[in-house]
Structure formats: structure tokens, C-alpha cells
Amino acid sequence: MSVTTVAHLNFHGQARAALAFYESVFGGRTTIATYGDFGMPAELPDAARVVFGQVVADNGFRVMAYDVPGASAAVSAAAPTTRRENGTTVTTEPFFLSVRGDTVEEVRALWARLRAGASIIEDFGPAPWAPGFGMLRDRFGITWILDVAAEYAPA
């Protein structure tokens, strides 16, 4: 038996744009099905919104997303915060998405594309635990950690 875990992102009318953006960053193929595709009458407001969407790339990247039915883009809870304090990342985020690569060059290239329209939390560069690490909140409000795989050596 094989089990795979995939991040499933919930949006309020932005799922299609977010999936297109993630495909442009990581490559792969986007699949989208709308509420209308599954029988919702076309005249209803959510009919063109994404009920199932995903990006799957040959490099192993995979993410799923949908638009929460009935929710508008203006609807949001208290915005999560992430900041640096005394050299440590302090956050109220419920989750981060983590992308780990084998080389600084490949991860830096992903960083360069993902940072378009993003708020940088920690700029990409060497870290005590990895040869490359960075953290940002993308233009859709998702917080990403990008790093280079490194052997952990306890102190």
C-alpha cells in the first residue's frame, strides 16, 4: 500500500489564478473542474468556480485547490501574521507549504519565480541548517518555505 499527502488549499474565488501561478512556478499540468461541470446551473454565482483543481509536475510537486462555495474573495478571518523576532520566525499561520530541493541552484530558480508579488519573510540564502532557505507569503496569502535538503547533524 502507498499513501501520499498533498496540500489542499482553500480559496475564495482565486483558485484558478493560484493554480495557474503555481504551474508557472513549478511546471506540470493543471486540472480544473468547476461546480458547473458537476451540474450546478450556469446562472448560479459559483458555477464557474473551481470545485476540484490540482497541479501535478514530473518533479514531484503537487498541490490541490478549490473555491469555498458561497464565499467571496472579500471574506476572510483575521489575517495570519508571520514576523522575525530575535532571530526566530514567530507566526500565527495554521500551516506552511514546504518545497525542498537537492541544490541551491534549483531551489533559487523556484524562489525567483514564486516571489512575484510576494511578501518576503526571510530572503533566500544560507541558513545554519541548510545551504539555502527562504520564506515568503505569496500573492494569494499562502506562506511557503523553500530550502535545500541537508543532512541533519545534532550538536
80-118 confidence digits (pLDDT tens): 677 766 566 666 676 789 898 999 999 999 999 999 999
CA–CA separation, 137 vs 120, rounded Å? Answer: 6
User: What CA dihedral angle connects 22, 24, 30 and 36, to 10 degrees?
Assistant: 80
Q: Are residues 144 and 88 in the same domain?
A: yes
Q: Are residues 13 and 40 in the same domain?
A: yes
Q: Tell me, yes or no, whether 114 lies in a domain.
A: yes
Taking the model in full, what pTM does it have? 0.78
26-68 confidence digits (pLDDT tens): 999 999 999 899 888 999 988 999 999 999 999 999 999 999 8
Q: Tell me, yes or no, whether 1 lies in a domain.
A: no
Q: Tell me, yes or no, whether 97 lies in a domain.
A: yes
Distances in whole angstroms, Cα of residue 35 to Cα of each of 11, 38, 45: 14, 5, 10
